[in-house]
Amino acid sequence: MPRDNVKTKSEPVKLSIPVPVMVGAVVVILGLAAWSYMDYRARKNPPRLPVLTAEAKQYVHSLHLSDVEMKATESYMKQKVVEILGKISNNGSRTVNVVEINCVFRDPYGQVVLRERVTIVGRAGPMAPGMTKNFRLAFDTIPESWNQALPDLVIAQIVFE
């Protein structure tokens, strides 16, 4: 039997997801995307730093660090700053444009907690033979697990004139 007067109406189905749940889902998705990106960046190989050339390895014995001392101060932002002060002497026969050193901080068990490469010659011009220059290195990101001892200072690069 046909029904002539009955109209069938199809209404769209509405999803009732609360706005805070949708916002939370977007925040979680963005957080996961950011974490994935940061993890990817951290896993990439760090750029290879220049190494000592054979010529620089022979010359490293002509560069001497002396009067090296360490002191801790507080910055104007109430942050602990460790300063390493000293002198570097060029006892060789060549002018040196750049000297970079690795400062290696260790924990009480001898494990490396921070390795930072810094320039001690080059900022204030080259160092001629027989010359001695003062240097000051400031560190404000040393981990709490550091053993409070003077770090190992190892010459990492020498660039000649």
* Residue 60: exposure state from Cβ atoms within 10 A (0-12, 13-18, ≥19): middle
Side-chain-side CA neighbours of 44 within 13 Å: the count stands at 8
pLDDT for residue 1 is more than 60? no
Domain edges within the chain = 14-44, 54-160
pLDDT at position 113, please? 93
Residue 105 has what pLDDT? 94
Q: Tell me what pLDDT residue 141 has.
A: 87
**156 alpha-carbon distance from chain centroid:** 16
Q: Does pTM surpass 0.75?
A: no
pLDDT in tens, 102-155: 999 999 999 999 999 998 888 778 999 999 999 999 998 889 899 999 999 999
Is 48 a residue whose pLDDT tops 80?
A: no
Pick the CATH number of 54-160 from 3.30.565, 1.10.3470, 2.60.40, 3.30.300: 2.60.40
Between the CA atoms of 135, 140, 142 and 146, what dihedral angle is there, to the nearest 10 degrees? 80
The predicted-structure confidence for 68-89, as pLDDT tens digits, reads as follows: 999 988 877 778 889 999 999 9
pLDDT for res 122: 80
Tell me, what's the pLDDT at 24? 92
Confidence of residue 99 (pLDDT cuts 50, 70, 90): very high
Q: CB count, 10 Å around CB of 16?
A: 5
Q: Whose CA is closest to 130, among 95, 155, 100, 99? A: 95
Residue type, position 131, single letter: M
* Lookup: tokens for 73: 């101060």
3-state secondary structure of 128: coil
Nearest partner of 161 among 97, 92, 100, 98, judged by Cα: 97
CB atoms within 10 A of CB 159: 16
